[in-house]
Amino acid sequence: MRRLRVGETVVGLAVVVAIAAASLAVRQRQAARDDSPAADVPDVSRRDATLDLGDLRIVVSAGPRPLLAFARNRFRFRAEAGGAPVALAEAVVSFTMAMPMGDHRHALVPASDGWQDAEAVLPLCPSGKRRWFGRLDFTLAGRPRSARFAFDLAAPEGRP
Ligand SMILES: [Cu+2]
């Protein structure tokens, strides 16, 4: 009887350890997913970048540089497919960072030479983090698509 109880305790402990390990693995996988944009999306802080979506290429140009918090920054997009310019329908760019900093969604407005623009004033993160992520959502031939990019938002003069 006593031996059985020890056996049950060992099995119980093994289950607890297995559950803890599984939840840790899930958390690590989620952390990796959250961090992934930093590693593999183009940075538009210093120069224009091209988002390659296979059948579609989108040039992203952001300015004035450096991109500043609390200032009007213009994000410009020009898409082409097979060398021909393409207008992105229902195009909206949204901005996020590591922590919630409010809702920043801006519809693109058609500009000259096939560019589509949005202006955005973004806040300075109190955590000191400067990295932001942009996500462009649009439809092409009726299909929803999206593309991501990254940039650093500098503190305006006189702010740490
Ligand atoms: Cu923040």
Question: What's the pLDDT at 40?
Answer: 81
- Say how many Å lie between the CA of residue 102 and the centre of ligand 1: 9
Distance 96 CA to ligand 1 centre (A): 9
Residue-wise DSSP of 17-40: HHHHHHHHHHHHHHHHHHHHHHHH
Least confident of 19-28, 120-129, 138-147: 19-28
> What distance in angstroms lies between residue 100's CA and the mean position of ligand 1's atoms?
6
What distance in angstroms lies between residue 23's CA and the mean position of ligand 1's atoms?
Answer: 27
Residue 24 has a pLDDT of 52
Q: What percent of the chain has pLDDT over 90?
A: 72
Q: 124 — phi, psi (to 5°)? A: -90, 130
Domain ranges of the chain: 1-40, 43-152
Q: Whole-angstrom Cα distance, residue 58 to residue 113?
A: 14
For residue 16, is pLDDT > 60?
Answer: no
Q: What is the pLDDT of residue 157?
A: 86
Does an H or E element contain 16, and which? helix 2-40
Report the CATH fold assignment for 43-152.
Immunoglobulin-like (2.60.40)
Amino acid 8: pLDDT: 66
Question: If we measure between CA atoms, which residue out of 129, 77, 128, 132 comes closest to residue 104?
Answer: 132
pLDDT score of 5: 64
- In tens, the pLDDT along 37-88 reads 456 899 999 999 999 999 999 999 999 999 999 999 999 999 999 989 999 9
Q: How many other CB atoms are found less than 10 A from the CB of residue 134? A: 27
φ, ψ of residue 50 in degrees (nearest 5): -110, 125
Record the pTM. 0.76
126 Cα: distance to centroid of ligand 1 (angstroms)? 6
> Please, where are the H alpha helices in 48-153?
none
